[in-house]
Amino acid sequence: MASLKEVKERIVSVSSTQQITKAMKMVAAAKLRRSQERITQLRPYSEKLGALLANVSSGNSEEGMNAYGEVREVKRVLFVPVTSDRGLCGAFNSNVFKAVRNALTTDEYANAEVEILPIGKKSFDFFKKKSDPVNDKHWGAFGDLSFEVVKAAAEEAMEGFESGKYDKVVLVYNEFKNVATQIVRTEQFLPIVENEVDAESTTNTDYIYEPSKDFIIDELIPKSLKIQFYKAVLESNASEHGARMTAMGKATDNAGDLLKDLRLTYNRTRQAAITKEILEIVGGAEALAADS
């Protein structure tokens, strides 16, 4: 059995850890509120713009005007795994790594050349140890998260696809549902996926382009793609804080349970020591009485 000093030291250590995890939970909760507001405000705009993007793209694919909708044989593919800069957020990052590995084992990418464009320090640290080439220009996007910073990464992926450097671009990120739930998405970014939900209605729709069809193709589609890329990063950012809040909450609860057990052990050990001392005193008194 551990000594009283050892148990007391463990109680102090676990109490300190509990205070840290509780503070981290509160910080994550504060950051989550801000991140959740940003993604909640962007979602309706992004979804509507995405539907319009898919419709315009499918409506012009036959004319060859949309370079971002060209479907090619996948010989070179760019994966964009979006993770966090820090840990202590449960399986948040490892789920993204697992999703990328699972995707690379499919027949579609079996013979393809793969390049990684990581967003987030954890993603960069993980994939730079692998054999696939890693683009190290944009992994620090969360250091100063803004549309302008994320747009640079999106533009590099778009330019690579347009020039033929990549035949496909895939985003892998955590979609925010609520504090306790994040869903890993493996989403095709390029070529643009046609809107299957509205395919029937799109067939019979005549579009009026204002100011011109060229303007729509040259301006709207690239901007829409950058918004979709930015949305994925914001989803991951909100998911990170939700995952960290949940993980730190569980860690705080576990520390509380451990403290209860340690305090019980401490009281039992202390009681046993006191009982032993009493028995020794009684035994000594009886021995003295017998000698006298």
What is the per-residue pLDDT for 198? 45
3-state secondary structure of 114: strand
- How many whole angstroms separate alpha carbon 269 and alpha carbon 264? 9
Q: How many residues does the chain have?
A: 292
Q: How far is CA 51 from the centre of its chain?
A: 25
DSSP state of 207: P
Q: Is the pLDDT of residue 279 over 60?
A: yes
CATH number of 4-19+249-291: 1.10.287
C-beta separation of 262 from 14 below 8 A? yes
Strands of 76-81's sheet in order across? 113-116, 76-81, 168-178, 181-190
User: What pLDDT shows up at residue 207?
Assistant: 67
The pLDDT value recorded for residue 196 is: 45
Choice among 18-22, 101-105, 197-201 with the minimum mean pLDDT: 197-201
Do residues 232 and 187 lie in contact, with contact meaning Cβ atoms separated by under 8 Å?
A: yes
Token output for 38? 């940003």
In this prediction, residue 232 has a pLDDT band, given cuts at 50, 70 and 90, of very high
Residue with tokens 């057990």: 261
Q: Is 197 exposed, middle or buried (0-12, 13-18, 19+ CB in 10 A)?
A: exposed
What is the C-alpha end-to-end distance of the chain, expressed in Å? 38
Q: Are strands 168-178 and 76-81 parallel, antiparallel or unpaired?
A: parallel
For residue 285, the model assigns a pLDDT of: 80
The string of DSSP codes covering 16-63 is: HHHHHHHHHHHHHHHHHHHHHHHHHHHHHHHHHHHHHHHHHHHHHGGG
Concerning whether 89 is annotated as a catalytic residue, the answer is: yes
> For residues 284 and 100, which has the higher predicted lDDT (pLDDT)?
100
State which fold the 33-247 domain adopts.
Answer: Pyruvate Kinase; Chain: A, domain 1 (3.40.1380)
Is the model's pLDDT at 61 over the cut of 60? no
Instruction: Find, among 83, 110, 105, the residue nearest to 184 by Cα.
Output: 83
Average pLDDT on 72-88 reads: 94
Average pLDDT over residues 186-190: 94
Tokens encoding 254? 């576990």
Contact 217, 60 (CB under 8 A): yes
For residue 216, give the DSSP letter.
Answer: I
Q: Which of 281, 213, 175, 285 is nearest to 59 (CA)?
A: 213
pLDDT at residue number 113: 94
What is the mean predicted confidence (pLDDT) over 30-48?
A: 90
Q: Can you tell me the distance from the alpha carbon of 11 to that of 223, in angstroms, rounded to the nearest whole number?
A: 56
Q: What is the mean predicted confidence (pLDDT) over 156-181?
A: 94
Tell me the domain boundaries of the chain: 4-19+249-291, 33-247
Catalytic residue among 49, 89, 171, 255: 89
Closest among 147, 148, 168, 146 to 157, alpha carbons compared: 168
pLDDT band at 57 (very low <50, low <70, confident <90, very high): low
